[in-house]
Chains A and B, each alone.
Chain A
Amino acid sequence: MSDRNDLSKYAGLFEDIRAADIMTANVTVIPPEKKISHAKEMMNIKRISGLPVVDETRHLIGIVTVEDIIHALEFNRLGEPIRNMMTRDVITVGVNDRLTDIVSKFQAYRFGRFPVVDADNVLRGIISRKDILNGVLEKFNLIYVHDQKRISTLNSEFSFITGERLTVGDAEFHYNIDTTDIGSAGVGAVMLKTFLADKRYPAEIIRRIGVAVYEAETNVIIHSRGTGDIYCFLQGDLIMVRVVDNGIGIEDMDMAMKEGYSTAPDYVRELGFGAGMGIPNIKRFVDKLVILSEKNVGTQVEMILYLPIEASAPATPGTLTKN
């Protein structure tokens, strides 16, 4: 294929690029004791063609690919654990491997991607042709202007809206989003609603938060390819919710804010989402919204809802202790 030739032609120009610089660090992985059918489901949901298999300490022990799934389907073995069917001899790339070595590996093997491991065979990332191309382009500053300031603000302890210090440990509500299970979209939103209902917040506020958080949570599951969290801070006259993930970021924020624009693939549409209404819906239901996103670092959605004046201090013990 011609792209292979192109890759080797330019590889020499980028001697100092290492695997760690261009790999995708957030890898979807699967433990060996899960069933093949589970791997099939995950590959379908995430639209990927191979899943690294890791043990509890993230040591790479195999890979399950589309071929393995086809094999399992053919012999009716979808119910068996992955360890029975996975490919054990995995061709890997080292975190410190140079671009030239990586390119030769792509030429030597027909695989679309290679797991990246450190000296102890612990999985650190995954590298595809696209990552190489992006790495090279980034070097040229063609597609992305790196902005260090955005990375530092993305993980800041301050609210972008109110400027107040917010330590996630102080959040009154926390929910870890299970990004491996698309069926779980909305579980965090429902739990947050229950939490706020227990604190006797006004029903209309709870409903608006529920919808906004549901959309944000679904976005993390569908798009981020990372892991995510929902935090809720109760601050007297306002409720602030932060939905954060460490995923791939939003490429084009202006477009993401437009109704009807979506990057979601067909399978997401089959799940009833992907109408391009996610962020517009969040905007519709909250009073203030700030979205910060950095490519390959993550996305943070911060939303605020102000309580009606008469309801600014819910009469439940516990909510006022922080003030």
Chain B
Amino acid sequence: MTVRDVAKLLEAEVLSGEDKLDIEVKHGGAADMMSDILALCGPNQLVLTGYIHPQVIRTALVTELLGLVFVRCKNIPPETIKMARQHNILMLQTRLFMFSSCGILYAAGLRGVDER
């Protein structure tokens, strides 16, 4: 599916990286710990997270993720959004919870990073 499909399925708002909406995404993960993202996720993957500190953007940058989906619509700090835009990291925000978001995307065909 494309990033646009992901956004539609999760009724998500695109906060950064609008130019990446047509990119095909096959694998995703979900984590709140930076070390888990660093250890397990990689290029062209989408990571769902509830962690909104700007540090997550730097983690995405180091790991070369395709982008991040922020679940449960928290008050994302403006610095996080600013840093994502600065580095053109795709950033979606959904009001759905982590579990539902993962389930919806999995049912629609997105696979886990352990299923590559």
Contacts and interface: CB of A to CB of B under 8 A. Distances in A.
Interface of A: 183, 185-187, 189-190, 193, 207, 210-211, 214-215, 218, 271-273, 275, 277-278, 280-281, 284
Given A187-B58, A189-B62, A272-B56, A284 B51 contact: no
Given A271-B34, A277-B39, 14 more contacts: A183-B55, A185-B55, A186-B55, A186-B59, A186-B62, A189-B58, A190-B58, A190-B62, A211-B62, A214-B38, A272-B55, A273-B35, A275-B33, A275-B35
B11 interface: no
Contact of B32 (A186, A193, A214, A272): A272
6 contacts: A186-B58, A215-B35, A272-B53, A273-B34, A277-B38, A281-B38
Contacts of A280: 39
A183 B83 CA distance: 12
B55 A211 contact: no
Interface in B42-99: 42-43, 51, 53-56, 58-59, 61-64
Given A207-B64, A272-B51, A272-B53, A277 B36 contact: yes
Contacts of B64: 207, 210
Contacts of B56: 272
A214 B62 contact: yes
Contacts of B58: 185-187, 189-190, 214
A190 B53 CA distance: 17
A278 B62 contact: no
A210 B62 contact: yes
A15 B48 CA distance: 60
Nearest to A218: B34
A271 B38 contact: no
Contacts of A211: 38-39, 62-63
A203 to B, nearest CB: 8
B70 to A, nearest CB: 13
A178 to B, nearest CB: 14
A176 to B, nearest CB: 17
Nearest to B32: A272
Contact of A281 (B35, B43, B51): B35
Contacts of A214: 38, 58-59, 62
Interface in B6-52: 32-36, 38-39, 42-43, 51
Contacts of B62: 186, 189-190, 193, 207, 210-211, 214
A73 B13 CA distance: 37
Contacts of A218: 34
A210 B62 CA distance: 6
A277 B33 contact: yes
Contacts of B43: 207
A272 B33 contact: yes
Contacts of B32: 272
Contact of B33 (A185, A207, A273): A273
Which 3 pairs of residues, A with B, have the shortest CB-CB distance?
A277-B35, A186-B58, A272-B34
A281 B34 CA distance: 11
Given A190-B61, A190-B62, A210-B62, A215 B55 contact: no
